[in-house]
């Protein structure tokens, strides 16, 4: 039997999918009505979290942050079955994931962090990506059941907090991507170009296909053979900012990048590949 704690959009859809697969699921949520709503799909809701975990072989968690995970687990502890496995899908800090792994091990229970790149529809359809890292034997044991919950289970090795770090890295990229798209739409608006035309551009030209190649170049660290010189990229950034400033519009991402470009150019790297800025702030030496 499974207990699921946290009936937000992700947790509730995970629960519905598990029930469809024939699992018995006991649920709890801080706002009890959200857990109660899952009874329409076959879950059993509890007002007290310690009651919700009684008899469970696996406890899944989808909460807000480290503090909420720690608080809920402490409250649930008195209901833990010996040998229960706690699987935490919450996006948390890397230190929190490591500390909880050790804490619950000392207390005689198993905790493992398995954050996800999954929206509510993915949770319901068992698609998307689930990340995991930690004890290899435990992961091997859990793999069949966790694989049923997602499109792909990605194992990042034996460190208990690597999956937590990978999730933060992925989310950083998503935040940066969205901010970049916001800037693109802002520039389009100032140029009287309809947003639909921006959409048409990205439907035909997919810059996402460049990610692996650019990451490889960054990791290699050789920027002496440019495909786009830093000075030219900086000129384009200037044009972007000038076009938006004419209309009183401020960009979010580009000004910060331009400032970093200026620092590298001042150090004599204007003719290098523009991706040299991936090295961060240049040394003062």
Mean pLDDT of the chain: 96
Residue 43: predicted pLDDT: 98
CATH number of this structure's domain 2-159, picked from the four choices 3.40.1190.10, 3.40.950.10, 3.40.50.1950, 3.40.50.720: 3.40.50.720
The domain spans of the chain are 2-159, 166-279
Residue length, the chain?
285
Share of the chain above pLDDT 90, in %: 97
Residue 160 and residue 95 in contact, taking contact as beta carbons nearer than 8 Å: no
pLDDT greater than 60 at residue 252: yes
Residue 127 pLDDT > 60: yes
Average pLDDT over residues 131-147: 98
Using pLDDT thresholds of 50, 70 and 90, give the confidence band for residue 284: low
Gap between the Cα atoms of 11 and 120, Å rounded:
8
Has residue 285 got a pLDDT over 60?
Answer: no
**Closest CA relative to residue 145, chosen from 103, 112, 105, 171:** 112
Q: For the segment 174-230, what is each residue's pLDDT rounded down to a tens digit?
A: 999 999 999 999 999 999 999 999 999 999 999 999 999 999 999 999 999 999 999
pTM given for the model? 0.93
pLDDT for 186 equals 96
- Residue range 58-68: average pLDDT? 97
pLDDT at 283: 76
Strands annotated E in the chain: 2-5, 25-28, 44-45, 58-61, 85-88, 110-113, 116-117, 129-132, 152-155
pLDDT in tens, 66-114: 999 999 999 999 999 999 999 999 999 999 999 999 999 999 999 999 9
Q: How confident is the model at residue 282 (pLDDT cuts 50, 70, 90)?
A: confident
Multiple choice CATH, 166-279, 3.40.50.1370, 3.40.50.11610, 1.10.3720.10, 1.10.1040.10? 1.10.1040.10
Work out the average pLDDT over 140-155.
97
Q: How far apart are CA 14 and CA 122, in angstroms?
A: 9
β 116-117/152-155 pair status:
unpaired
Using one digit for the tens of pLDDT, what is the confidence trace for 231-240? 999 999 999 9
């Amino acid at each position: 039997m499974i207990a699921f704690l946290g009936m937000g959009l992700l947790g509730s859809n995970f629960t519905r999918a598990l029930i469809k697969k024939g699992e018995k699921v006991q649920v709890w949520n801080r706002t009890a009505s959200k857990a109660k709503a899952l009874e329409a799909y076959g879950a059993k809701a509890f007002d007290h979290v310690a009651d919700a975990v009684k008899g469970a072989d696996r406890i899944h968690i989808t909460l807000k942050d480290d503090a909420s995970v720690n608080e809920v687990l402490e409250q649930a502890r008195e209901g833990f079955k010996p040998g229960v496995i706690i699987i935490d899908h919450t996006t948390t800090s890397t230190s929190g994931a490591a500390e909880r792994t050790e804490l619950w091990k000392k207390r005689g229970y198993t905790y493992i962090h398995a954050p996800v790149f999954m929206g509510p529809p993915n949770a319901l359809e068992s698609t998307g990506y689930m990340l995991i890292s930690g004890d290899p034997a435990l992961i091997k044991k859990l793999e069949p059941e966790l694989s049923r919950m997602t499109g792909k289970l990605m194992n990042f090795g034996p460190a208990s907090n690597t999956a937590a770090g990978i999730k933060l890295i992925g989310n950083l990229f998503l935040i940066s991507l969205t901010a970049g798209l916001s800037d693109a739409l802002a520039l389009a608006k100032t140029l009287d170009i309809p947003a639909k035309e921006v959409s048409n551009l990205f439907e035909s030209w997919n810059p996402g296909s460049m990610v692996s190649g650019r990451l490889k170049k960054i990791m290699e660290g050789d920027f002496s053979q440019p495909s786009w010189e830093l000075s030219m990229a900086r000129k384009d950034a200037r044009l972007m900012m000038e076009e938006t400033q004419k209309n009183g519009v401020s960009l979010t991402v580009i000004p910060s990048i331009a400032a970093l470009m200026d620092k590298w150019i001042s150090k004599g790297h204007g003719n290098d590949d523009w991706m040299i800025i991936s090295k961060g702030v240049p040394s003062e030496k």
